[in-house]
A and B are shown apart, each in its own frame.
Chain A
Amino acid sequence: MAEYVVGKIDDIPEGKGIAVEAGRRTIAIFRVAGKLYAIANRCPHKGASLCEGEVVCEDGIVRCPWHHWNWQLGDGKLETDPRQGLRTYPIAVDGDDVVITV
């Protein structure tokens, strides 16, 4: 387990993703209705970058920009078939820093 500082809270736009490299992993970071989420960036369907996806509801779902697979940011599960899931990572605010644990 390693901790990475993503940036300041204001570096993460509301309702729009960014991507960071933490070690060998590429992780998409979202802030939706004030809540932070960290999820594997690569959609396993065809490889799109989820950080480019649209946040489609305040419940925290990111819609893949290519084929609209809806991933739940909270638990990483695919909305239509929750047996499929992406890895999510703990994310927290510590002072000014947003920190993910990978």
Chain B
Amino acid sequence: MNIATNPNRQPAKRVKPNPIDPRAHNYKVVDTDFHFIPDWEVLRKFLKEPFRTELTKYPPVGGDYTPQYAIGLEGTGQETMGRASTAAEVLKVLDEIGVESVLLSPGFQRPQSMFHPAMLSAIAAAYNDYLAAEVLPASPRIKAEIMINHRDPAAGAAEIRRVAKHPGFLSVYTEFGGNYEPIGTSRHDPIYDAAIENDLTVTSHVGTFYQQFTPLHQGTRTWSELVGISAVSISMAYVGSMIFQGLFDKYPTLRVIIKEGGFWWLPEFMARSDDYYLSHPGDIKLTERKLEAGEQFLNKLPSEYFESNIRFSSQPVCFPRDPRHFKMLMELCRGEDMLMYSSDWPHATFDPINWAFDPAISEEGRKKILEDNARNWFRRPF
């Protein structure tokens, strides 16, 4: 090739490509997991005494988890894409990532792992008050989850009732993680009572990766094991506690969203749950809620509770190596009905909407995943 003599040479145009699929603008996309990280000095103004005086920065909790080094110098991977601390910053990011409406998750997950109940409850109240005062009123595009201390169910329920009157709160945020019991156990019923009473959905988001507290996590060495895989196994255990301990029989109208816990596991979970339940249902009546109700069995087969009570936020959507299997998994998991889009911004696992334009997803399913599934699952207007 003699490039010097080519007379047809054309100029290449310098561009700044937008990596977000432009078809996003054909939808009013709802993002069900966007992490909001208030500045401590702002949050502190809403913190009650004596915590306001004593806590000059986010309190230390839990400790780091070993594989954090794997994601680079930014630390925990929780601010890889940036940081949104005000309503204006949230709206700017939404426009960049093709999202119309957002459900803010408390983004500083580490405080939710702390064992200091009064301090955590105080921080949760300050967070909710800041949102109600300055963030939610800024735009109808912004909705939020109520932060609570779910390890103290009575305090959590009181906090829900204290702030639930604000229509911008659509749900109650809890976390699943290695150093805490599954949220489906009956001692969390005060939280579910308060949620039902106020038409609030309950979410459970992966978190609390503090491996030093559990043998499972003590045995992990890598980011993939800890953040990738244990999130899946723990979310399954949490959903198991909800179904088999009669949560949805006591609260048939309760709506739950599992966030960042995966969902390709549904076929295994559903088939195995039904099989084991039908073979050994004798212990169901011994669980607390069933003892109280005097009931023998679940009201439905375990697999049937997904349709009525459980949905999943989408991120991270992981593609199988054979692209044909994506369509099969979507069908097996009823992804077009069970999934609601989430970005996880600004975490290292950020998932833009691009995957939703995979041709394996139907036109109708795409609209459901990006808009309708979320809007219909919350009992309050989104």
Residues of B within 8 A of A52 (CB): 19
Chain B residues in 8 Å Cβ range of A47: 19-21, 352, 354
* B11 CB–A CB distance under 8 Å: yes
Q: How far is the CA of A95 from the CA of B14 in the complex (A)?
A: 20
B120: min CB distance to chain A, Å? 31
Give the chain A neighbours of B4 by CB distance below 8 A: 94-95
Interchain pairs with CB closer than 8 A, number: 72
Looking at the assembled complex, report how far the CB atom of A89 sits from the nearest CB atom of chain B, in whole angstroms: 11
Segment of B54-62, B87-95, B343-351 in the binding face: B343-351
Chain A residues near B12: list those with CB within 8 A: 4-7, 20-22, 27, 100
A19/B15 in contact, CB under 8 A: yes
* Bound-complex Cα distance A49 to B21 (A): 12
The interface on chain A, measured as residues whose beta carbon lies within 8 A of the other chain's beta carbons, has a size of 32
Across the interface, which residues of A come within 8 angstroms of B71, CB to CB? 68
Name the A residues within 8 Å of B81 (CB-CB): 66
A99-B3 in contact (CB<8A): yes
Asked if A4 meets B10 with Cβ closer than 8 Å, knowing A99-B3, A101-B3, the reply is yes
- Whole-angstrom CA separation of A7 from B13 in the bound complex: 9
Say yes or no: A4 contacts B352, CB within 8 Å.
no
Measured in the bound complex, the distance between the Cα atoms of B349 and A49 in whole Å is 16
User: From DSSP, what is the main secondary structure of chain B's interface residues?
Assistant: loop
Q: Is the CB of A18 within 8 A of B9?
A: no
Cα A41 to Cα B352 in complex, Å, equals 17
Residues on A with beta carbons closer than 8 Å to the beta carbon of B15: 19-21, 26
Whether A26 and B17, one on each chain, are in contact in the complex, defined by CB atoms closer than 8 angstroms, is yes
Q: Which of B9-66 touch A at CB < 8 Å?
A: 9-17, 19-21
> A68 and B72: CB pair below 8 A?
yes
CB-based contact B19/A94 at 8 Å: no
- Does chain B have a CB within 8 A of A61? no
Instruction: Please judge, given known A-B contacts A3-B3, A67-B349, whether A49 and B13 are in contact too, CB under 8 Å.
Output: no
Any A CB within 8 A of the CB of B355: yes
Question: B357's closest neighbor in chain A, by CB?
Answer: A47
B8 an interface residue at 8 Å Cβ cutoff? yes
CB distance from A26 to the nearest CB of B (A): 5
Task: Point out the residues of chain B lying under 8 angstroms from A62, CB to CB.
Answer: none
Interface flags for A35-74 (1: CB within 8 Å of B; 0: not) read 0000001100011110110000000000000111000000
What is the bound-complex CA distance between A35 and B6, given in angstroms?
23
Query: Are A2 and B14 interface neighbours, CB within 8 A?
Result: no
In the A-B complex, the 4 residue pairs with the smallest Cβ-Cβ separation, listed nearest first, are: A4-B12, A20-B12, A47-B354, A3-B9
- A26-B17, A47-B21, A48-B19 provided; 7 other pairs, C-beta below 8 A? A5-B9, A19-B16, A26-B15, A42-B19, A46-B354, A47-B352, A68-B72
